[in-house]
Amino acid sequence: MLTLMLNKSLRRIFALLVLCMGLGLATVPVYAADEQSSQQQAKSMTSDADLWRAIKAGESGYSTYKGVDADILINVAGNEGKILRNTYLKPLLGLAFVGVFVAFLVFYFVNGPSTLSKGFSGKMVFRWSKADLWLHWIMAVSCLIMMLTGLVIMLGRHFLAPYVGDDIWAGIIAFSKFSHDWSSPIFMVSWLLCIIKWMPLQTVKLYDLKWFLVVGGYINFGPFKGKHPDSGFANAGEKMWFWSLAIFGLCISVSGIMLVFPMLDLPRELSMLALLVHGVSAVIIVAFTIVHIWMATVLSEGGMECMVSGYCDENWASQHHNLWYDEIKANGTLKYKE
């Protein structure tokens, strides 16, 4: 009997030990698994943070697609270029278009036009050939189309899109893009021909400095009034406009080609550089074009006739381009309109 009770007690103790060991074995792995899971989760979070930091820094990864920059999810240069364009180029373009126009409008009301001191003579002197006129107006019209459509493309979403419906805005931007792209080859060809044809007339001379010192003789008040500086076929202002058009016309043409042909498959950095160069060149050309239009039409009495008929009034020639007028009189090439 005693033996039987002892055996039962031993069995119960053994069962209790087994149960305790089982609980211990079951509990320990749970804690270990939780700790391991926490470590893996922390490691995963650290890894994700490092990955996202690398992506934002523009580091490349791996992609099965083998196009240019396919391994880069975020292009840092592209984002920085976009910020530069939106922060500086857009306001500058608006300022170039509106600011320069308003400045010359105020100048016109304060100063008035530059009139001919001796009035019109009635004698018209040959100045531009028919080929020159055609080249000028083809380049001028195509340039104006690109200017206006470029303004819509770059600034239209700010001053136009909010006031028209989505359908109308979609049509306007599509038409602007189409016109901008297809007027550009006409501009580039006419621009190149004009640069080649007119470059010999645009060499800078020492007397051009005096033209700037007296503001070209266009001021009608103060010590500058009545000053008519020496000038050859092209005055200093026209030469500055010509060389600006030559340099930045080249920049805008090359960058435009890079932007309009996606099959070139350029790196994003180069594409963004082309976009920024295109914008800077556009700002400068827009500003100079507005100045050129004001000077040729409103501020210079008799100036517009030159690019309409190819002839200028004799008194206009002697007042604004005296060295050229004296030269053609001396060498016998002076030609009057019949």
pLDDT band, residue 46 (cuts 50/70/90): low
- pLDDT (0 to 100) of residue 32: 46
CA 17 vs. chain centroid, Å, equals 84
* In contact, 187 and 146? CB cutoff 8 Å: yes
CA-based radius of gyration for the chain: 38
- pLDDT (0 to 100) of residue 227: 83
92-115 pLDDT, tens per residue?
Answer: 999 999 999 999 999 999 988 888
- pLDDT (0 to 100) of residue 248: 97
Question: Alpha-carbon distance 292 to 289, whole Å?
Answer: 5
227-258 pLDDT, tens per residue?
Answer: 889 999 999 999 999 999 999 999 999 999 99
